[in-house]
């Protein structure tokens, strides 16, 4: 099957508000992105190829995105789910491990958006703006039912690794300063590689200016020049009192925006790579993209 025919087949599944979302996100021109979503477990519509399916709609994007009425507290495009409270999560730093050099902020940024489904507290079809007229959606949507072995009442099934829950102590740290955080009082201008982190066992962070702010990433092997989807993405946050400024021996001020590790640093929800990793983890390629071991 050619990319062109695959794109046409996928577009038939993207109807109504979902198509508008794709236009808003500027991804209609990317056959790879569209096909990737349609052929993964993140396609929860009735025509999806994954384990869990919802009979109320054939749409794909609507389970996460909406063109109107989105949650503006989310740092992801046009988010269609209610965000959980950051205070409801227990994070890795509560273990007191001596190997954790970076300060950990409350769960936020893109990680909170991921957890709005993967914490297992609300159904995967719980959205702000359902497909059809009105926020509650069409009669067909409201009458929809869930099928699939990996769900219970539309929620991610209990005991599954994808049901992360609210206790994050046994998961990779999220909302944590990359490489232990900067040692300088300020970070260099966008476009400059930064190596001045407290923990020398990490790769340098690259940066560029995008929409008026500095974005950060760690270049994965073979990903190409510039910021690519296959690179390990770092997310710029300014978290007062969570940057190690006053008590952890760092000179950086608590108001400086800096790179943090989040769920989407390693995972891309729009890819067909196994477990949605940004690159295949052959020979621990994901881990070694950031960690020097």
Residue spans of the domains in the chain: they are 3-88+124-156, 176-290
Q: Could you give phi then psi for residue 202, rounded to 5 degrees?
A: -130, 150
Query: pTM for the full model?
Result: 0.83
Mean pLDDT of 160-189: 90
pLDDT tens figures, 184-208: 777 888 998 999 888 999 999 999 9
- The predicted structure's pLDDT at residue 35: 56
- Classify 168 in phi/psi space as left (phi over 0), alpha (psi -120 to 50) or beta: alpha
Whether the CB-CB separation of 169 and 235 falls below 8 Å is answered with no
Of residues 31 and 216, more confidence is placed in 216
Total number of residues shown for the chain: 293
pLDDT band at residue 216, thresholds of 50, 70 and 90? very high
The segment with the largest mean pLDDT, out of 66-70, 177-181, 221-225, is 66-70
Residue 55 CA to residue 72 CA, distance in Å, equals 28
Neighbours of 282 (CB within 10 A): 7
pLDDT tens figures, 229-267: 999 999 998 875 454 443 344 555 666 788 999 999 999
């Amino acid at each position: 099957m050619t990319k062109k025919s695959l794109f046409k087949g996928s577009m038939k599944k993207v109807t109504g508000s979902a198509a508008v979302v794709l236009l808003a996100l500027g991804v209609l021109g990317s056959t790879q992105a569209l096909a990737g979503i349609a052929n993964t477990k993140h396609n929860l519509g009735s025509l999806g190829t994954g384990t869990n399916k919802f009979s109320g709609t054939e749409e794909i994007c609507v389970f996460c995105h909406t063109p109107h009425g989105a949650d503006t507290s989310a740092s992801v495009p046009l988010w269609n789910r209610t965000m959980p409270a950051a205070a409801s999560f227990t994070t890795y730093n509560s273990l007191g491990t001596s190997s954790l050099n970076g300060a950990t902020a409350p769960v936020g940024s893109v990680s909170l958006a991921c957890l709005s489904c993967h914490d297992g507290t609300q159904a995967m079809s719980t959205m702000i703006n359902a497909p059809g007229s009105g926020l509650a959606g069409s009669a067909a949507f409201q009458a929809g039912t869930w099928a699939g072995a990996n769900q219970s009442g539309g929620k991610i099934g209990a005991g599954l690794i994808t049901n992360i829950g609210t206790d994050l102590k046994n998961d990779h740290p999220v909302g944590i300063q990359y490489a232990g955080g900067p040692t300088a009082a300020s970070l260099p201008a966008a476009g400059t590689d930064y190596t001045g982190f407290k923990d020398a066992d990490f790769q340098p962070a690259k940066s560029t200016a995008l929409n008026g702010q500095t974005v950060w990433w760690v270049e994965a092997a073979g990903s190409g020049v510039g910021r690519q989807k296959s690179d390990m993405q770092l997310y710029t946050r300014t978290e007062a009192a969570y940057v190690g400024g006053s008590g952890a021996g760092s000179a950086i001020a608590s108001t400086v925006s800096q790179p943090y590790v989040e769920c989407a640093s390693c995972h891309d929800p729009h890819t067909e790579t196994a477990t949605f990793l940004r690159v295949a983890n052959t020979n621990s390629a994901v881990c070694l993209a950031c960690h020097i071991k």
